[in-house]
Amino acid sequence: MCPDIRADEILELQAHHLLCAVCAAAGAKKPPCGSYVTDTIRRVIRRDPFAQLKLVADIDLARSHYLDIDLERKSRLADDFISRRANYVSRAKDLEVMCRLDIRPNTTHPAIDVVRLLFQKIESLEGICYHEAEASDDWPTCEYARLDYYKQVREKGGPQCYSMDACWNLGEELLGCGPYSLLSIRTREEVRTAKAESCRKIEQADRLFIRPHHLMCMMCHYGLGDIASPLNVDNLHEILVKMQTNPDIPITLNEGCCMVCDPCPAYDPAKHICAWIYTRDQLKDLRVLHKLGLKPGDTLPARQLMNLLADRIKTAAEICGRKSGFVGESYVWAPCSSSESGNYEKAISKGIYVV
């Protein structure tokens, strides 16, 4: 069910084996599915957070007609029907996991989405791997279930695992915490080196490459009013200063990660992608381009571009907020937390250039 795979292949696994992999990472020596399975899951996800995972559950078993099962029509049953039916405990766990993640069985998803959704939606193993009722011979419980290694791992990281600032400050110290029990994380040294090198490139640049919606992020930063110091986790401040002091510098609009992204804990430099919110951000890029009447790769002088932004996009919510169609309860399509702060609107009203 879970062989080792090449980087371009899909890893097929039973849904509840994700929980086994977390427990194994936390110290469970003999997971019921076997260490080979949990080691493979952990290795594949750590190696590539965008590895495709097919989460499976044996739902086709229920298509067997009851008369085929109980009367003399067993020839219509699959050859392995009896052994598959006997695996009902595992099947129940798979479906409980998928129920909580709100995904269909036997569908494929990027590993990073599955892992982050797992820790967002599932608080503990209760109701999946163990229940209030005592275990029985017919419904046995994993020997590690009531220790709830999963819950310990989830609580160990807490909200820090989802904070850019915390990830930048702590880096590898978060390994083993929450989603970073399975996912890799950029080290403190890596993001600090990236910050220094990328700032040097911006300082020396005679042309800037910016993803369109980062123009709006930059204005939100400017609208805060506290812009005396750079941000650690991105290069918005440096881009802003460069544009203010060089109003005619060419800005090329890049659909995807840009000069802002290098020091961000969520940036995957090997794949050149934002690991946390890449799908939503690409849509925001295209929305901004549409509003501006531009296309990917277009280049404009900084002042002209910012004047166009102020003229065409009056509020953050129309691109980044619920008003634009993003859904608050969604993992993939959640609105930006700053979309209703008023910071963008303050910055647009003020402008970044003093005439």
Per residue in 21-74, pLDDT (tens digit) is 999 999 999 999 999 999 999 999 999 999 999 999 988 877 676 667 666 566
Tracing tokens 């067993």 back to the chain, one arrives at 74
Residue 127 has pLDDT above 60, yes or no: yes
Q: Which of 6-20, 56-70, 99-113, 314-328 has the lowest mean pLDDT?
A: 56-70
In degrees, rounded to 5, the angle at the alpha carbon of residue 302 between the alpha carbons of residues 298 and 304 is 80
Residue 14, burial from CB neighbour count under 10 angstroms (0-12, 13-18, 19+): buried
The Cα–Cα gap between 3 and 40 comes to 7
Strands 250-253, 299-301: pairing is antiparallel
**Per-residue pLDDT tens digits for 226-281:** 677 789 999 999 999 999 999 999 999 999 999 999 999 999 998 898 988 888 99
Residue 10, burial from CB neighbour count under 10 angstroms (0-12, 13-18, 19+): exposed
What angle, rounded to 10 degrees, do the helices at 212-223 and 278-292 form? 90
* Cβ–Cβ < 8 Å for 145, 152: no
Tracing tokens 């800037």 back to the chain, one arrives at 208
**Rounded-to-10 torsion of CA 235, 240, 241, 245:** 140
Give the E-state strand segments of 221-346 in sequence order. Answer: 250-253, 267-268, 273-274, 299-301
**Per-residue model confidence (pLDDT) at position 355:** 47
**Per-residue model confidence (pLDDT) at position 7:** 58
Is the Cα dihedral 223, 224, 226, 230 positive or negative?
negative
pTM of the model: 0.88
Question: What are the CA-CA distances from residue 41 to residues 55, 118, 135, 165 (Å)?
Answer: 12, 14, 28, 28
